[in-house]
Amino acid sequence: MSLSAPLVLGIESSCDETGVGIVRGTELLVNAVASSMEEHVRFGGVIPEIASRAHLDAFVPTLSAALKEAGVSLAQIDAIAVTSGPGLSGALMVGVSAAKALALATGKPLYGINHLVAHVGVGVLDGGALPENLGALLVSGGHTEILQVNSLTSDVRLLGATIDDAAGEAYDKVARLLGLGYPGGPVIDALAKEGDPKAIRFPRGLTLPKFIGTAQEPGKHRHDFSFSGLKTAVARCVEQYQKRGEEVPVADIAASFQEAVVDVITAKAVRACTEHGLNNLLLGGGVAANSRLRELLAARCASAGITLRVPPRNLCTDNGAMVAALGSQLVSAGVAPTGLGFSTDSGQPVSLVSLLA
């Protein structure tokens, strides 16, 4: 095995994407993803049981396609990595069971790794080694977190997180309210371009002084997020228009909602970085595709002297390559594999980059 550039296969099944990726060190060989997104559209959100069923059906075909496309045989793989959490329990178990079977059949070392840290680790596939003094902002349908990455393989800390809905979840719920279908992110982003972001002043969650405090005496939720109140505010707003018998200004609501989300996310991320001496920020998660988030985050990072790094879109959404990328870094760092006996951990903290044996 090459310790500097190990050949690692990564498996992801924490939500509705079945991903198998293969990397050699920091080089991406293949990123095969099957998604059950279409099956969730009529529900307006991911249904865990439907996602789990889809993972079972998609796993072996996705694995087979990935190996073929990379021109790699299982015997050549140096190690296997799989998302052990956080995520949907039943969905995680499909990927973990398959990964264990693969490790058992091939005799290769297996790492149970952290999904959120993998969103950071994927950065090595686009521009090589990660910089020092690194923060990460992860925004998706399941997560909204600010991380401090002292060491990708051994020291990751949670600076802030949502206390209720994830940002992407808020997009989905608001899209449902506005009759825009699922997923909500792309359609609201597109519609927002036709609306006035200042038309309605929606609340910015956890921005009151009692939550924020000061840099010296931080409030309890200084770097945390909350989006459920915003979602309710949008619902009340829509109801007011309907009660008055007026047409609902969908584009203005979409633009104003998006501005509220993006404003609070970017402001808090930049403040958290500044106060922790982090002059590099990596953006990850599916919502990283949002045009307004990228625009405002880039502007605010530039003003604060923070260098922003955003991996390509297909590496920001859930995928197996990010799991392989983190796995490869763990192998290179000499971290011991997890083995076959671990459980999935739907609430795995970021401090657990990989599970201990």
CA distances from 338 to 82, 83, 112 (A): 10, 12, 6
What is the C-alpha to C-alpha distance for residues 150 and 117, in angstroms, rounded to an integer? Answer: 12
DSSP 235-282: HHHHHHHHHTTPPP-HHHHHHHHHHHHHHHHHHHHHHHHHHTT--EEE
- Asked if residue 139 belongs to a known ligand binding site, the reply is yes
* CA triple 188-193-199, angle to 5 deg: 90
Q: Is 343 in the site for another protein (CB under 8 A)?
A: yes
Q: Is 44 in the site for another protein (CB under 8 A)?
A: yes
Q: Is 89 in the site for another protein (CB under 8 A)?
A: yes
Q: Which part of the chain contacts another protein (CB under 8 A), choosing from 36-44, 154-162, 212-220, 270-278?
A: 36-44
Q: Is 103 in the site for another protein (CB under 8 A)?
A: yes
- The least CB distance from residue 20 to another protein, in Å, is 11
- The least CB distance from residue 103 to another protein, in Å, is 7
Q: Is 152 in the site for another protein (CB under 8 A)?
A: no
Please say whether the beta carbons of 122 and 322 come within 8 A.
yes
DSSP E strand stretches across 79-180: 79-85, 110-114, 134-139, 144-151, 155-161
Q: Is 291 in the site for another protein (CB under 8 A)?
A: no
Residues 62-81 that bind another protein (CB under 8 A): 63-64, 74
Please say whether the beta carbons of 114 and 310 come within 8 A.
no
Strands of the sheet with 307-309, listed across from one edge:
155-161, 144-151, 134-139, 280-284, 307-309
Q: Is 351 in the site for another protein (CB under 8 A)?
A: no
- Asked if residue 115 belongs to a known ligand binding site, the reply is yes
- Asked if residue 142 belongs to a known ligand binding site, the reply is yes
Chosen residue from 9, 17, 59, 123 binding another protein by CB under 8 A? 59
Number of residues that bind another protein (CB under 8 A): 42
Q: Is 299 in the site for another protein (CB under 8 A)?
A: no
Q: Which residues bind another protein (CB under 8 A)?
A: 42-44, 47, 49-50, 52-53, 55-56, 59-60, 63-64, 74, 89-90, 93-98, 100-106, 176-179, 182, 238, 248, 340-344
